[in-house]
Structure 1
């Protein structure tokens, strides 16, 4: 298994380009059947539009890639079938909330979601709402996902100027540390109170990671690699 590689960058150039994904076209019938089965298991999931990427290039302090539009059903099949098209990757932003006493705050996905039980930072595969002037606004996506999952707004944290792009398999997680002027336990309590007000929150639990001993198998490798690097600095 290839170990994750972390590139620290300050600029993201993520153009949206018109392109038809051969995998989605050629295996359309199989994809439709696969998604129907998933919907029977979890009726809440729906076949919305999202953005995947190709042609990643790291150039010194920058990262660029081309994004294209597809549907969630094709993405889910590609993921569940072991990423058969190796020329495509899921490039998404993550907001690494960090308290003023050094704890990272992560959320556990609810059982009704497509990633039930997984634990990671607020994030989401980009969708059409993240397109701004023909490019993918990953910073805006992070702000939106943090607000949706935790109730925190951009006024509640100070974002680092750089991104740590963690390349792991078919994923590129563009992670930005969001510094919150609050202790970890108080931050968790605040987020839990926000979740309690929601009818069907995306998260089922909030976890604090203070050192690598708090990492678990439920956390994706791109998350644990990032946290390990942070604690080794």
Structure 2
């Protein structure tokens, strides 16, 4: 994805779940179902579970990002994405741990063949779902730590999260990123996560890529907003 990308720094997120009448789903249900059938035929491992998208994103006083989520199904999200994001009032808002080694390299994952974005390279991430609800709020920090552990095997106790969030506004995508600092070197971190992937029966990741310098960002399968996030953080 390319285009305009905007960054903001906030100290907190306030994410609520509330009902939303999504016209895209209501009016194009048959088309969405046909698309899902075709995608499932190509990738049988896809699962039509509940996920959450956003129908409102606001910066408030500048220190807090406010997000209004609603629940839908993965088939609806996938069609909305694959059809070119036809509803401009809806956003894919998600968290991402920017896992950084002790010597300053960042770990990125290559999505596996059974993933809906197979081959793409970006930080561990997953669309929020009902398991991320805490007392009526959508907990994106819990989502971030869960995705980190599921995809890489790195447990929450093994990283130190940066105090602030970097919010990346990239068209219909709103990525809520936080640096997760590891005490391991780049080589040790890569070996650790590679071993975790090899131990899994159905890993989400096909492999990992370490970005230590800006030259490492030339990989064409890397999402553009990830590249733009990393450029000022890496040496030439």
Measured after TM superposition, the shift of residue 24 of structure 1 is: 0.5
Deviations 1:108-144 (CA, angstroms, capped at 9, x unpaired): 0101111100111111110111111111100000110
| Deviation by residue 1:5-58 (Cα, 9 ceiling, x = unmatched) | 001001101110012211101100000000000000000001111000022111
CA distance in 2, matches of 1:92, 1:108: 18
Q: Pick the aligned partner of 2:172 from 170, 173, 197.
A: 170
Structure-2 separation of matches of 1:196 and 1:115: 20
Per-residue displacement from partner, 1:65-96 (whole Å, max 9, x unpaired)? 20000011111110001000000000000000
TM-score, structure 2 length as denominator?
A: 0.96
Structural mapping, 1:22-37, within 5 Å: 22-37=23-38
How many Å separate the matches in 1 of 2:174 and 2:214? 21
User: Which residue of structure 2 aligns with residue 222 of structure 1?
Assistant: 225
Partner of residue 137, structure 1: 139
Post-superposition offset of 1:230: 2.4
Instruction: Tell me the equivalent position of 2:52.
Output: 51
1:170-211 C-alpha deviation (Å, 9 max, x unpaired): 100000000000100110001111111111111111100012
Aligned ranges 1:182-193 → 2 under 5 Å: 182-193=184-195
Structure 2 runs not aligned, ≥5 long: none
> May I ask how many residue pairs the two structures share in their alignment?
232
Show the counterpart of 1:9.
10
User: Residue 82 of structure 1 aligns with which residue?
Assistant: 84
Q: Which residue of 2 aligns with 1:212?
A: 214
Equivalent residue number for residue 198 of structure 1: 200
| SS in structure 2 of the partner of residue 88 of structure 1 | coil
CA distance in 1, matches of 2:189, 2:59: 34
SS of 2:119's partner is coil
Distance 2:3 2:220 in 1: 17
Deviation at 1:2, TM superposition (A): 4.0
User: For 1:70, what is the secondary structure of its paired residue?
Assistant: strand
- Post-superposition, which runs of at least 4 consecutive aligned residues in structure 1 deviate over 2 A? 229-232
State the secondary structure of the residue aligned to 2:53. Answer: strand
Moved more, 216-225 or 195-204: 216-225
CA–CA separation in structure 1 for the residues paired with 2:232 and 2:40 = 38
Q: Distance in 2 between matches of 1:166 and 1:187?
A: 25
User: TM-score of the superposition, structure 1-length normalised?
Assistant: 0.97
Q: Report deviation, 1:169.
A: 1.1
Q: Which one is further off, 88-97 or 13-22?
A: 13-22
